[in-house]
Structure formats: C-alpha cells, structure tokens
Structure 1
Amino acid sequence: MDFSCKPNECIKCTVSQCKNHCKTKDYCSLDCVTIGTHESNPSQDQCTDCKSFELS
C-alpha cells in the first residue's frame, strides 16, 4: 500500500489495479488524466478508456 498517495478529489476512480489509484480512497492521485476511446464512433460509456492507466 502506498501511504504517500495524495488523492485528487476532482478525479474519482474505482480501478484499484491502477498504480495511480489511492488504495484507501476511490480517487486518482494524478493531477491530470487523459481520457480516450477505442471506438471510431463511441456511443456508450464502455467505449471510453483512461489512457493514464498504469498496472500496479
């Protein structure tokens, strides 16, 4: 567990497998994230991806 994690309360996140996830709270520790898509014409929330994801 990373005790130095500073949650960015502007970026909620529930992906606990991400290196940037604050394990004690459901927030990201990054100042800024990049959101993208894997679809040419996204029409659902499942079509979007956090491009800042890093496997912990």
Structure 2
Amino acid sequence: MQANDSIGCTVSECRHHAKNVQQCTLNHIEVIKHGPTATTKESTDCGSFERS
C-alpha cells in the first residue's frame, strides 16, 4: 500500500506502517480512548493498530 502523507506514524511494528517513511498506509484511522473521558494523549491510542 502507498504511504498517506496526512497520517504520520513512527510505530514500525504496525502492519499499516509505510516502512520506508514515517507514515501510515491507511486512508483513515480510528483514534480510541481508554476511559469515558480523554484528558491526556496517553489516554488515547490508534485503534487501527495491527501487529505486523
């Protein structure tokens, strides 16, 4: 798949990482939260992550 210039990513362990550049290959990602209210970036994650 082709890198998406709009989604930066440094998680090279993800199946959707572009490998040759620090970008995601998905057209759309889902950002999820760990509780009822997200108050810090640590309380959110990329829900589209898949281990490669």
Query: TM-score w.r.t. structure 2 length?
Result: 0.92
1:17-56, aligned counterparts within 5 Å?
Answer: 17-56=13-52
Amino acid in structure 2 at the alignment position of 1:28:
C
Give CA-to-partner distance per residue, 1:18-47, whole Å, 9 cap, x none.
000011100000011111111222110011
TM-score, normalising length from structure 1? 0.86
- Mark the runs of 5 or more structure 2 residues left unpaired by the alignment: none
Runs of 4+ in 1 over 6 A off after TM superposition: none
Could you tell me how far apart the structure 1 residues matched to 2:51 and 2:18 are? 13
